[in-house]
Structure 1
Amino acid sequence: MVKPPAYREIYNESATNPAGFWLDAASAIDWITPPVTALDESNAPVYRWFPGAELNTCFNALDRHVLAGRGSTTALIYDSAMTGVKKQFTYDQLLTEVSSFAGVLFAQGVTKGDRVIIYLPMIPEALIAMLACARIGAVHSVVFGGFAANELAVRIDDATPTVMVTASGGLEPGRTVEYLPIVEKALALSHGSIRTVIVKERRHVAGLAADFAQTTAHDSTHSPANDQPVTWVTWDDEMARASPSAPVAVAATDPLYILYTSGTTGNPKGIVRDNGGHAVALAWSMKNIYNVHPGDVMWTASDVGWVVGHSYIVYAPLLAGATTVLYEGKPVGTPDAGVFWRIVEDYKVKVLFTAPTALRAIRRVDPNLIESARYDVSSLETLFLAGERLDTETYHWANDGLHCPVVDHWWQTETGWPIAANLRGLAPLAIKPGSPTVPVPGYQIEVLNGKGVPVAAGKEGNIAIRLPMPPGTLAGLWGRADGYEKSYLQVFPGHYATGDSGFIDDDGYIFVMGRTDDVINVAGHRLSTGQLEEALAGHPAVAECAVIGVKDELKGQRASGFVTLKAGVFIENSVLCAELIALVRDKVGPVASFRDVVVLERLPKTRSGKILRKTMRQIVDGEPFIVPPTIEDVTVLEDLTLALVGHPGAMKPA
C-alpha cells in the first residue's frame, strides 16, 4: 500500500509554489478550456483563480462519471425520518432528473447568468434544482424552506431572480410548515423580479394540503407589488413535458451560487462562489481532507441552506464520484437518539460530518450511547465536526464511545471549505482536543493583535488569513462591487479577517476560541467565551452551555453562564451553580469573576446549531433585539426571558 504523503511536505508546496500546486490540483477536473494561469492578481487584493478557463460544474458532478462507465453507481441516497420515504438515485438516474429540470428552467427563460431562488425542504428536488442551475450556467440562491416571508423577500430583491423553485410545504417534528402562503407574502413584499414559481407538491405528506390548485388562490395573473405577472406551475407537470438540456460552458470565474449569511436583514450579504476554484478546491478536499473516493458513502447531516450542505451534501461528494446521503430529520426525536447510527448502518457510511450541537443533543438524551449499541457502525471511519466550537468533553464522549477518530475542523460560509483540519487523506497528525489541528494547504494563517502585528505562539489574538486566499473561497459579495474588500480585507491589510479569535501553539496547532465580538472584558482582562465554556462543559451534569458577557457597572462586563442538563440528571440548582462557579475559578482563575449561572431547558440556536450569543446578551442587558431569521425555535427565547427574572431588564423583541 502506498504511504500517504506527509502534511508538512504538501503544505510547504502550497505555500512556496501556489500557482503550480493549484494548477496540478486542477487536473482532477474536466475542463472545456483548461487553465493555463492559476491566479489573476490584476484586481488585488481581490484575486481570481483560473482566469480564461472554462468548465461546467454539473458535467463534472454527473456526466463525466456516467461517461466513465460508473452510471450504475449510487449517487444519492434520500432518507426521510419525517415521512419514512427512502429512495436512491444512480448517477444515470440523477443525470436524467437534473438534465430534465435544467430543461424546465430553460423553457421558463432561464439562461446563463440568470438567478434562481430555491426555497425547498430537504428533499431530492433541492439537490436536483441546484445542479440543474449549474448545468445551464444559472446562479442559484438557496433559502431555507420555511424562512419568514420578509427574509425571503429581501433575498429576492437582492438577487433579482426570475424563477423560484419551492414546495407545498416542509416538516418539523410535530408540525408541518405551509410554504405557499409564505411565498405569496414574499412576492407581495418584493419588487417583482420573479416571473415563474415552480411548486413541488408533497401529496404524501400528512398535514400538507394535497392539491396545489385547492391551496392557492393565485393564477397566471397574480401580481406582487409592482404588478409583474407571476405564473405558477407544478414540478411534476413541467418535468413530464421537459426536453433535457445539455451542459453549457461557463468561465471558471463565473458565479455558481449566491449564499446569504445568517442574520441578514435589510442589507443582505450574499456570498458569491465561482465555478472553477470551487470545483478544484472541493475535489482536492474530498481526497485529502475527508479521504473519500469514488464509491465511498459520505453523509453530511446538515441542510442545503447552509454552506456545509452546498459543499458536502451536494457538490463535493458528486465531484468525487462518491455517494451522498440526503437526510430529512433531526439527530433526536425522529424517532430517537439512535437515528444517526441507524443511517450509518443502513448505508455503510464511511464519513459522517455534522455539527457539535447535534452530538450534544444526542449526548443529552443518550449520555451513555446506549442507542449506538443497537447498530453496526463499523463502517464509520471518521466523524467530522464543524459549525460550533467542539468542547473537549463532547470530543471525548464521541471519540471514546464510537471508537473512530473524531475530527474537529474549522471553516466559514465565506471560505466554502475547511481552513484548518486534520487531513485524513494525508498521513494523519495527532489530534489535540479543542483544536481543529493545522492550516489546510492554501491557507496561510496568522494570529494578529489589534494593530495587525503577529503575536507570539500561545498568545490569543485575531485570526487572519494572509492573501491571496486559496481557490473555492468567496469571489465577492453579490451586487456590492467593493463589499468584499470593505467587509473583510481592510481590517488587517494584506489579510482576510476571519472575525474569530484564538491562538497557535508551539506545534502549529490552531485553537479557535470564539468570535472576536464574544470576547468578554472583565475589569480590563480579556476572556474568551470558549475558555469559560470549556470549564462549564467539564461538569458531569452539563449537556450544553454558553457564556456571554453582560453589562456590569463596576467591571464593564461580567461573565454569565447558561447551561442545559443531561437527560435523567437531577441536581439542585444551588448545588450545580456553586460547583460550576468553583470549576471556572479552578480552571480559568478568579480573574473571571464568574458568579452567574442560569439553567435552561434549551439554548437558543440557529438551524445550523450555532448558539445565539449576541441575542442572549441583548436580552440579558435589556436591549431591544430582533429575532434572527435563522433561529430554530423562537419559543426558546421566550423561555430564556422567563428564566431571567433575577436579571435586570430582560426585554421582548423589538
Structure 2
Amino acid sequence: FAAALIELGVGRGDRVVIYMPNMAEAVFAMLACARIGAVHSVVFGGFAAHNLALRIDDAQPKLLICADAGMRAGKVLPYKPLVDAACDEARYAPPKVLIVHRGLDQELNLKPNRDVEYAPLRARHQGAEVPVAWLESNEPSYILYTSGTTGKPKGVQRDVGGHAVALALSMRTVFDVGPGQTMFSTSDVGWAVGHSYNVYGPLLVGATSLLYEGLPIHPDPGIWWQLCEQYQVRTMFSSPTAIRVLKKYATAWLKKYDLPAFRWLFLAGEPLDEPTSHWINDGLGKPVIDNYWQTETGWPVLALLPGMDLKPVKFGSPGLPNLGYKLRVINDASGIDAEPGEKGILTIVPPLPPGCLTTIWHDDSRFLSSYFEHFKDLLYNTLDWAVRDEEGYTFILGRTDDVINVAGHRLGTREIEEAAASHSGVAEAAAIGVQDALKGQVPVLFVTLKQSLDEASSRHETTQQIQQKVVEMLGAIARPARTYLVNSLPKTRSGKLLRRLLTALAENADPGDLSTIDDPAAVDEISKAL
C-alpha cells in the first residue's frame, strides 16, 4: 500500500484523507501513511458529503482513499457518490482518488484522470519493500476532526513520539493487553478510539486487533460474543449505547459462547447508566470498567488501571487521574478549585502528557482560545462538568459547551443549525441535545420559518424536508429526533439564544432564572410546541 501511495505522488508531510468503513484496507492505508511520513486524516464513513468536503478543504490532501461501498445489516452503502459530491463541493479537492473496489457497488463510476483503482496498483507493487521515513518525535502523525461550537470542525493534530509512548503505556496499564493477546474495539476507525485502540495501540505492543464492520445484532445479537470466542479476545472496548442495543435481546445470547480468555469489558464515550452496567455485568459475568477521555487527549484521562493496580470501582465514576495527568475541578463562578462534591469544570494542568493533541491543524490561535483561555490560571479546559469526591474519584456530568454526544459521537449544535438553515424556508434554527435512554443524547431542533404554515400537512412536509437537509449535509447520525416549528425562539435582550432554556423545557426541568429573556411569550410558544 505504501508503494502505491508513493506512485501516486504522496510523500512526507502530505495529507491523505481516508473515507472507508471498518475494513482491513482502511488500516493498511493508515499504516502506509505512517510508513512514508504522510499525515492521514480518517473521516467517519457515516458523514455526508458536505462534512467530508469541509475536512478536505481544511486538510488540503494530495490523495483521497475510499471504498466503493460499506455494509450495514446486510445493506450496501455506496461511498463513491458521496466522495464525488464532496470533491465537487470542496475548494481544494485532491488531484487523485484511490478506490478500493470491494465489488459491492455494481454501478461504480470512475472519473477519468482522477480516479485510480487499488487492485492493479497492489498487483504491481506486490512484495515491494518501502523504507521507513524516520520523523522527529513532534512531527504530525495524523489529523482527526472533531465537532466544535463554531460549526467548523477542529482538526486535532497528533504527534508521532508522544502518541506512541502513551498508547504503548495505556495498552498495558489501562487495558491490560500485551504481546500475543487479542483486543476487540468495536469503534469505527474514523473515531479517536478507532485510531488509538483498533489500530495503533494493539500493534505497538504486539497484540492482535479485531475489526468488525456492521451492527452488534447482525446477523444475530450474539455475533460479538461469537467473535470473542473464536479469536480468544482478552479485552473488549465498546460504548454504553451498543450495550443498550443488545439489552433489548435475551441474555441467552451473552451466555451462548465460551469466553475463557475474556477478562475485561471497557465502556466509554458517554455516561454509563447503572441498569445497563448491571445487565451486561450479570450477563457476561465479567468486570465492566469505565474510563474517560476525549478525541483531543487520544488516550484515557480517568482510569482504574487494571493492568497495573486495579482501583476499586465506584459506579458512575470513570476513576482516578491516569498516569501523566494532573487534574483540577474548577468552580466556574469563583475560578478556584471546587470543594469535594461541588460541581465544577474538569481541567488538566499543563503540560499535557504525551499522546494529547499538540495543536489544531493550521490554527494555533484556535487551539489556545478553545482550550486554554477560560481561567486566570493556565489550564486545559475539557469543557466537561465534573464532581470529585473525597477520595479523588471524578464523576463526569456533561458538556459545558454546545456539543451533543449522540451514542459517543460528538456533534456541534452550530453545524446542525447551519444544515437546517440551508432549507430555503427556514429563518432561524436552534439545536439542543436532550437525554435519551438508548443513545445518551439525541438532537432536537426548533425552527422558525420565513413564512408561517397553517395546514398540518404542509407543516409535516416541511419538517421532513428540514430533517432530510440535516441528514444530507451531516449524515444520519445527526438526524434530529424531533423537529418543532415555532413562531419565535427564546433569546436574551442582547440577542443570545437561550439553549439552556430550550433544554430545560424539553426535559421538563426547572428553566431557572428567566430575568434576561427578551420575550417571555417565547417560553409559552416552546412549551406549547412540546
Same fold per superposition (TM over 0.5): yes
Q: How many aligned positions are there?
A: 447
**Cα distance 1:482–1:381, how it changes in 2: closer, same or farther (>3 A)?**
same
2:448 and 2:341 map into 1 onto residues whose CA distance is 32
Identify which of 466, 481, 484 aligns with 1:637.
Answer: 481
- The alpha carbon displacement at 1:503 in A equals 0.9
Give the counterpart letter for 2:318 in structure 1: P
Aligned 8 A contact 1:420 1:437 in 2? yes
1:440 and 1:123 map into 2 onto residues whose CA distance is 31
Give the counterpart letter for 1:277 in structure 2: G
Q: Tell me the secondary structure at the aligned position of residue 30 of structure 2.
A: helix
2:87 and 2:9 map into 1 onto residues whose CA distance is 19
1:127 matched to 2:27? The reply is yes
- CA deviations on 1:306-362 (whole Å, 9 max, x unpaired) are 000000000000001000001111122x12221221111111100000011111111
**Cα distance 1:651–1:351, how it changes in 2: closer, same or farther (>3 A)?**
farther
Aligned 8 A contact 2:182 2:232 in 1? yes
Q: Tell me the secondary structure at the aligned position of residue 292 of structure 2.
A: coil
**2:75 counterpart residue number:** 175
**1:189 counterpart residue number:** 89
**1:302 counterpart residue number:** 187
Output aligned runs, 1:136-285, within 5 Å: 136-173=36-73, 175-203=75-103, 205=104, 208-209=105-106, 215-216=108-109, 218-220=111-113, 231-242=114-125, 243-262=128-147, 267-285=152-170
- CA deviations on 1:237-278 (whole Å, 9 max, x unpaired) are 111112431111101000000000046886221000000000
1:487 matched to 2:370? The reply is yes
1:621 and 1:460 map into 2 onto residues whose CA distance is 35
- The alpha carbon displacement at 1:469 in A equals 0.9
Give the counterpart letter for 1:637 in structure 2: A
Give the counterpart letter for 1:131 in structure 2: L
**Cα distance 1:445–1:414, how it changes in 2: closer, same or farther (>3 A)?**
same
2:340 and 2:248 map into 1 onto residues whose CA distance is 36
Aligned 8 A contact 1:130 1:140 in 2? yes
**Cα distance 1:173–1:640, how it changes in 2: closer, same or farther (>3 A)?**
farther
1:611 matched to 2:441? The reply is yes
Q: Tell me the secondary structure at the aligned position of residue 202 of structure 1.
A: coil
**2:470 counterpart residue number:** 627
Give the counterpart letter for 2:259 in structure 1: V
**Cα distance 1:172–1:619, how it changes in 2: closer, same or farther (>3 A)?**
farther
Aligned 8 A contact 2:447 2:484 in 1? no
Give the counterpart letter for 2:23 in structure 1: I
Q: Tell me the secondary structure at the aligned position of residue 40 of structure 2.
A: strand
**Cα distance 1:365–1:621, how it changes in 2: closer, same or farther (>3 A)?**
farther
Q: Tell me the secondary structure at the aligned position of residue 330 of structure 1.
A: coil
2:173 and 2:330 map into 1 onto residues whose CA distance is 28
1:215 and 1:518 map into 2 onto residues whose CA distance is 39
- CA deviations on 1:90-116 (whole Å, 9 max, x unpaired) are xxxxxxxxxxx1111111111110000
**Cα distance 1:263–1:364, how it changes in 2: closer, same or farther (>3 A)?**
farther
**2:200 counterpart residue number:** 315
**1:342 counterpart residue number:** 226
Q: Tell me the secondary structure at the aligned position of residue 145 of structure 1.
A: coil
1:563 and 1:490 map into 2 onto residues whose CA distance is 32
1:170 and 1:401 map into 2 onto residues whose CA distance is 31
- Overall identity of the aligned pairs, in %: 43
1:126 and 1:449 map into 2 onto residues whose CA distance is 43
Give the counterpart letter for 1:441 in structure 2: L
1:240 and 1:440 map into 2 onto residues whose CA distance is 45
- CA deviations on 1:566-621 (whole Å, 9 max, x unpaired) are xxxxxxxxxxxxxxxxxxxxxxxxxxxxxxxxxxxxx6x5xxxx633xx32x4499
Aligned 8 A contact 2:433 2:441 in 1? no
**1:111 counterpart residue number:** 11
Q: Tell me the secondary structure at the aligned position of residue 364 of structure 1.
A: coil
**1:376 counterpart residue number:** 258
Q: Tell me the secondary structure at the aligned position of residue 311 of structure 2.
A: coil
Q: Tell me the secondary structure at the aligned position of residue 351 of structure 1.
A: strand
2:318 and 2:178 map into 1 onto residues whose CA distance is 23
**Cα distance 1:200–1:325, how it changes in 2: closer, same or farther (>3 A)?**
same
**2:351 counterpart residue number:** 468
**Cα distance 1:246–1:560, how it changes in 2: closer, same or farther (>3 A)?**
closer
1:177 and 1:427 map into 2 onto residues whose CA distance is 44
2:257 and 2:527 map into 1 onto residues whose CA distance is 45
1:329 and 1:184 map into 2 onto residues whose CA distance is 24
Aligned 8 A contact 1:146 1:177 in 2? no
**Cα distance 1:286–1:443, how it changes in 2: closer, same or farther (>3 A)?**
same
Q: Tell me the secondary structure at the aligned position of residue 382 of structure 2.
A: strand
Give the counterpart letter for 1:261 in structure 2: T
Q: Tell me the secondary structure at the aligned position of residue 453 of structure 1.
A: coil
Aligned 8 A contact 2:329 2:346 in 1? yes
Aligned 8 A contact 2:37 2:134 in 1? yes
1:194 and 1:325 map into 2 onto residues whose CA distance is 31
Aligned 8 A contact 2:47 2:475 in 1? no
Q: Tell me the secondary structure at the aligned position of residue 310 of structure 1.
A: helix
**Cα distance 1:630–1:302, how it changes in 2: closer, same or farther (>3 A)?**
farther
1:330 matched to 2:215? The reply is yes
Output aligned runs, 1:204-603, within 5 Å: 205=104, 208-209=105-106, 215-216=108-109, 218-220=111-113, 231-242=114-125, 243-262=128-147, 267-332=152-217, 334-366=218-250, 369-450=251-332, 451-492=334-375, 493-517=377-401
Q: Tell me the secondary structure at the aligned position of residue 328 of structure 1.
A: coil
- The alpha carbon displacement at 1:487 in A equals 0.6
1:480 and 1:325 map into 2 onto residues whose CA distance is 35
1:441 and 1:452 map into 2 onto residues whose CA distance is 25
**Cα distance 1:297–1:630, how it changes in 2: closer, same or farther (>3 A)?**
farther
Q: Tell me the secondary structure at the aligned position of residue 144 of structure 1.
A: coil
1:479 and 1:560 map into 2 onto residues whose CA distance is 30
- CA deviations on 1:501-545 (whole Å, 9 max, x unpaired) are 1111111111111112489xxxxxxxxx99xxxxxxxxxxxxxxx
Aligned 8 A contact 1:260 1:271 in 2? yes
Aligned 8 A contact 2:50 2:474 in 1? no
**Cα distance 1:264–1:345, how it changes in 2: closer, same or farther (>3 A)?**
farther
Aligned 8 A contact 2:255 2:284 in 1? no
CA RMSD of aligned residues (A): 3.0
Aligned 8 A contact 1:154 1:265 in 2? no
2:399 and 2:353 map into 1 onto residues whose CA distance is 22
Structure 2 unaligned residues grouped into runs of 5+ = 406-431, 450-462, 486-505, 509-523
- The alpha carbon displacement at 1:438 in A equals 0.5
1:511 and 1:378 map into 2 onto residues whose CA distance is 32
Give the counterpart letter for 1:303 in structure 2: D
- The alpha carbon displacement at 1:128 in A equals 0.3
**1:9 counterpart residue number:** none
1:348 and 1:500 map into 2 onto residues whose CA distance is 36
Give the counterpart letter for 2:196 in structure 1: S
Give the counterpart letter for 1:325 in structure 2: L
